[in-house]
Structure 1
Amino acid sequence: MKKIITLFLSLVFFQFAYGQVDLIKADSLKNQGLLVPALMKYAETMRQNPSSEVSYQLASTAALLWTTQMRDTAFYFLNHALQNDSTLKALYDPDFLSLIDDPRWEDVEAAQIKKYESNYQPIRNEEFAKELFRMIIKDQGFMYVGNIERRKYMSNGGYFSTPAIFPVLAMEEKNMKENEEMLLKLLDKYGWPTASEVTEYAAAGAALIINHTTYELRSKYFPMLEEAFKKGEAQPLRYAKMKDRLLVEKGEKQLFGTQWKFENSERVPHPIEEPEYVDKRRAEIGLGPLKTYLKERFNIDWEVTQKD
């Protein structure tokens, strides 16, 4: 009996390990922009080792393909993936841009918010939260295509690999403009969103969208974000990004190192005020070391000895 149990456990481990290898391969294909091969690899993994994680990846990959058939596929696997999920992650996942205007998305929103509230806490302003989640998706929804092409842009010596990127960039700009108009209406109606009112994730969306507008609007609404941050109602990174951006736009040195530029085809941070103390400032507002942030987010190597 002991041998049978050992054999069974070995088979289970082998199946799990094999499934993980396939999942890594599928993720790699997706990251390269090879969506159809990635979808096929996810489907193969799902047949061999079904899980909510793989189902979610199937949903997001299908959604990125944008066709009617693929939207149906995306909703099918997304509903399966979220059966035991009480988080709000899917509601602000930019991979689902092609789904948010479909009536079925409202069902996904309602189900996730209900589960979230049952497991965590009520969302005091659900309508505001849902609008913010959708705006996050619209703001970031073309980043998948854009980031792939931006990597190629760097490796091609400053040229995009396909003219198809230009209408994508135009659609991205259109979405940001629509977000700006919608957010200003919502701010007039509700005021600045706080984490306790719409959740931390949705509140971060307001700062994200304002940060992608104009200097005039950033200047106007930054005091509201700053007040919310001081009360513990806004994410430190969103506060830091807008503060730094306003400083850079005024020709001053940034404080937290969140803003970067291209210099000789390399990403480098904009000048930082007393860079040897930047980690101290970041820690004071709840952020980790700048070196780690720049490497993980932008693959920027940054070496400045820090002082306490």
Structure 2
Amino acid sequence: MKSIFFCSLFMCAFGIGNGQNFANQGDSLMNKGLLVPALEKYSIALAQNPFPEISYKIASAYALLWTAQARDSAFSYLNQALKNDSTLKALYDPTYLSLIEDQRWKKIENSQLRKYEATNGPIENKTFALQLFRMIIKDQGFMYVGNIERKKYMQNGGYFGTPAIFPILAMEEKNMIENKEQLVKLLDINGWPTASSVTEYAAAGAALIINHTTYEIRSKYFPMLEKAFKQGEAQPLRYAKMRDRLLMEEGKEQLFGTQWKFVNSKRVPHPIEEPEYVDKRRSEIGLGPLSVYLKERFDIEWKVDQKL
């Protein structure tokens, strides 16, 4: 009896480990833009290890294929993945850009909001939150393709790997323009979205989107973001990014080190005011060391001795 039990336990562990191996292979292929081979690996992983996380990855890969048949599959797997999920992560996941105009997306939104509120309490301004979530997806929705091609751009000495990237960049710009126009209207009606009124995720999205507009718009609405931040209603990083960007655009040195540029094909931070005190300033607003942030986010090596 014991041998049967241990054999079953071994087989279960082997299946989980093997399934995870296929999932990791799928992730690697996804990172290279190889969606169909990634789906093949994910499907094997799911058969061996039917976890919601793998169904979610399959849904994302299908959504990125942008065909009607792929959308059907994306919704099918996404519904499986979210069956016991009470988070809102799917509602601002940019891989689902191809799904948000489909009527089935509204059902996903309503279902996740209902489950989230049952666990976390009511969202004060659900309509505003949903509008912001969709704008986040529109803002970031072409980043998957764009980032893959930008890597090739760097590897190819300043040339994209395919001319197909240019209409993608044009659609990305169109979405950002539409977001800008919609967000300005919403801010004038609702004021700055706070974490307590639309959730922290949606509020962070407003700062993300407005940071992709113009200096005139950023400088007009930054005081609203700053007020929300000082009241504990906005993320420190979103505040820091907009503050730094405005300073940079005004020809001044940044304070928190969030803005970078390319120099000789390498990322480097824009000039920082008193860089030896940057970690002190970051700590005062709730951010960690700059060297860690730059390395983890942008693979930038930055070493300046810090003073307290």
Normalization by structure 1: what TM-score?
0.99
Matched, 1:128 2:128: yes
d(CA) in 2 for partners of 1:225, 1:41: 43
Deviation, 1:274, is: 1.1
Deviations 1:212-265 (A, max 9, x none): 000000000000000000000001110000000000001111011000000011
Q: Any residues of structure 2 matched to 1:14-163 within 5 Å, and which?
A: 14-163=14-163
Paired position in structure 1 for 2:258: 258
Mapping of residues 179-194 of structure 1, within 5 Å = 179-194=179-194
> For 1:30, what is the secondary structure of its paired residue?
helix
Offset from partner CA, 1:174-207 (integer Å, 9 cap, x none): 0000000111111121111000000000001111
Q: Look up the SS of the partner of 1:26 in the other structure.
A: helix
What amino acid is aligned across from residue 169 of structure 1 in structure 2? L
SS of 1:135's equivalent? helix
SS state at 2:124 partner: coil
User: How far apart in 2 are the matches of 1:188 and 1:255?
Assistant: 29
Moved over 3 A (4+): none
Equivalent pairs, count = 308
Aligned to 2:202: 202
Match of 1:170 in 2: 170
Give the CA deviation at 1:305.
1.4
Amino acid at match of 1:276: E
Amino acid at match of 1:278: V
Instruction: Judge conservation of contact 2:210–2:218 (CA < 8 Å) in 1.
Output: yes
Q: Which 10-residue stretch deviates more, 262-271 or 183-192?
A: 183-192
| 3-state SS, counterpart of residue 261 of structure 2 | strand
Whole-Å Cα distance in 2 between the matches of residues 208 and 270 of structure 1? 19
**How many Å separate the matches in 2 of 1:207 and 1:284?**
20
3-state SS of paired residue (1:248): helix
Preserved contact between residue 132 and residue 206 of structure 2 (Cα < 8 Å): yes
2:296, 2:68 → 1: CA distance? 35
Cα distance between partner residues in 1 of 2:22 and 2:292: 29
Which residue type is aligned with residue 62 of structure 2?
A: A
1:45, distance to aligned residue in structure 2 (A): 1.1
Give the fraction of aligned pairs with identical amino acids, expressed as a percent.
71
Q: Deviations over 1:20-48 (max 9, x none)?
A: 11111000000000011111111111112
1-10 vs 152-161, which moves further: 1-10
Q: Which amino acid aligns with 1:60?
A: S
CA contact (8 A) 2:261 2:268 kept: yes
Please give the secondary structure, in 2, of the residue aligned with 1:267. strand
- In structure 2, stretches of 5+ residues that fail to align are none
Question: Which structure 2 residues correspond to residues 220-235 of structure 1 after superposition, within 5 A?
Answer: 220-235=220-235
What is the rounded CA distance, in whole Å, between the counterparts of 1:86 and 1:10 in structure 2?
A: 32
Counterpart-to-counterpart distance in 2, 1:5 and 1:286: 50
The CA distance in 2 between the partners of 1:281 and 1:9, in whole Å, is 52
For residues 292 and 154 of structure 2, the distance between their equivalents in structure 1, rounded to whole angstroms, comes to 22
DSSP 3-state at the match of 1:261: strand
SS of the residue 2:267 aligns to: strand
Partners in 2 of 1:110 and 1:221 — Cα distance? 30
Runs (5+) with no aligned partner, structure 1: none
Q: For 1:34 and 1:292, locate their aligned partners in 2 and report how far apart those are by CA, in whole Å.
A: 30
Distance (Å, rounded) in 2 between the aligned partners of 1:188 and 1:285 = 27
What's 1:4 paired with?
Answer: 4
Give the root-mean-square deviation of aligned CA atoms.
0.7
TM-score (norm 2): 0.99
How far is the alpha carbon of 1:306 from its aligned partner?
A: 1.5
Give the C-alpha shift of residue 132 in structure 1: 0.0
